[in-house]
Amino acid sequence: MSGRARSLAALACAVAAALVLTGCGGSGSPAADADGRARPRATLILDWFPNADHAGVYAAIDRGFFREAGIVVHPQVPSDTAAALKEVAQGKSAFAISYEPEVLLARAEGIPVVAVAALVTAPLNAVIARADRGIARPRDLQGKVVGAPGLPSDRALLDTVVRADGGDPARVRIRNVGFSLAPALAAGRVDALIGAYWNVEAVEVREKGVPVTVFRLERYGVPSYDELVVVTSEAFARGRPETVRALLAGLARGQAWAAAHPAAAVRPLLRANPDLAPALVAEQVRLVAPLFLDRGVPLHLDPAQWARYAEWMRLKGLLRRPVDAARATDVRFLPPGAGGTR
């Protein structure tokens, strides 16, 4: 996520490199691996550049967990983050990493994708405020300017947090700063942020010597949700269930290993994305690693929680039509010991 402020040119270069490494294989077609064993190969479209949130993915690759589960996984930087779910639905890629709200929005639009596992099991999005602007609690945002990336959910999330603390959301201004979130806050152009991550932008701003206070969404009126999830299409889940199970078996081990060894999990990330700053990404992984597990198990997915968040989105006018959260998730492929609730 620290790459959100990078240029589109840099993104295009990264995509080109990823495609060279990936080649074909989005369909999950089998091919002989180095040991001569035929394993299905599957493309996993990331939600952004390789970053701290993907530590479990790259741990599973680096330590051979995917290979031992019988699958070869190729992470791919997205050419268009907004199009990843459509690419999965169309069969252009077997899997993608996305966000619970995005999956619910896609389902509301009739896009037949399903979440099969949770990668990060609580919101990373947060209100991040400069502590030197007199903001000690959400209602102190009254009369302040909050920078936002310009997403439809920005206002609903901010209003909920402020109102939960007894403040008047109408007295809080939002300014669209795109994805230059950390620079806008560090430079003092805004007093706070919404749409930034407490394990990424908050770390970046503190590293610049700016004190910040973080207001976690789920502690101020927003129902908890899975920040990052693994998504496939309904058709792929029906037609290639063994490939889905293999991916999740390897990923569960990668998530558990990264949660237990956050410092060591940084190394595969740095090899995947040399542009990451080692000290920053080490702190970012340390912060997010506990969320790779839910009550001690990886990949936990709870349709009841999805239903609560879907209802909140509907009440806030973020969903055009109601969504059956049970059909937006599919826990049948989770490995034994991984968390699935239906």
Instruction: For residue 202, report the phi and psi dihedrals to the nearest 5 degrees.
Output: -60, -40
DSSP state of 36: S
Tell me which H or E stretch contains 293.
strand 293-294
Q: How would residue 24 be classed by pLDDT, with cut points 50, 70 and 90?
A: very low
DSSP state of 110: T
Instruction: Specify the pLDDT at position 35.
Output: 61
Q: How many CB atoms lie within 10 A of CB 31?
A: 12
How does pLDDT run across 292-324, given as a tens digit for each residue?
Answer: 999 999 999 999 999 999 999 999 999 989 999
Give the mean model confidence (pLDDT) for residues 153-180.
97
Residue type, 122: A
Instruction: Specify the pLDDT at position 20.
Output: 34
Instruction: Specify the pLDDT at position 143.
Output: 98
Instruction: Specify the pLDDT at position 80.
Output: 82
Whether the per-residue pLDDT at 19 is higher than 50: the answer is no
How does pLDDT run across 260-285, given as a tens digit for each residue?
Answer: 999 999 999 999 999 999 999 999 99
How does pLDDT run across 31-77, given as a tens digit for each residue?
Answer: 556 665 768 899 999 999 999 999 999 999 999 999 999 999 999 99
Give just the sign of the alpha carbon dihedral 8, 9, 15, 19.
positive
Whether the per-residue pLDDT at 16 is higher than 50: the answer is no
Q: How many CB atoms lie within 10 A of CB 300?
A: 20
Give the mean model confidence (pLDDT) for residues 108-122.
97
Structure tokens at 10: 């840099």
Cα 205 from Cα 134, distance rounded (Å): 17
Cα 41 from Cα 269, distance rounded (Å): 21
Whether the per-residue pLDDT at 9 is higher than 60: the answer is no
Give just the sign of the alpha carbon dihedral 267, 273, 278, 284.
negative
Q: How would residue 290 be classed by pLDDT, with cut points 50, 70 and 90?
A: very high
Whether the per-residue pLDDT at 11 is higher than 50: the answer is no
Q: Which residues contact 84 (CB under 8 A, 6 or more apart)?
A: 45, 47, 78, 93, 96, 98
| Residue 136 CB-density burial (10 A; 0-12 exposed, 13-18 middle, 19+ buried) | exposed
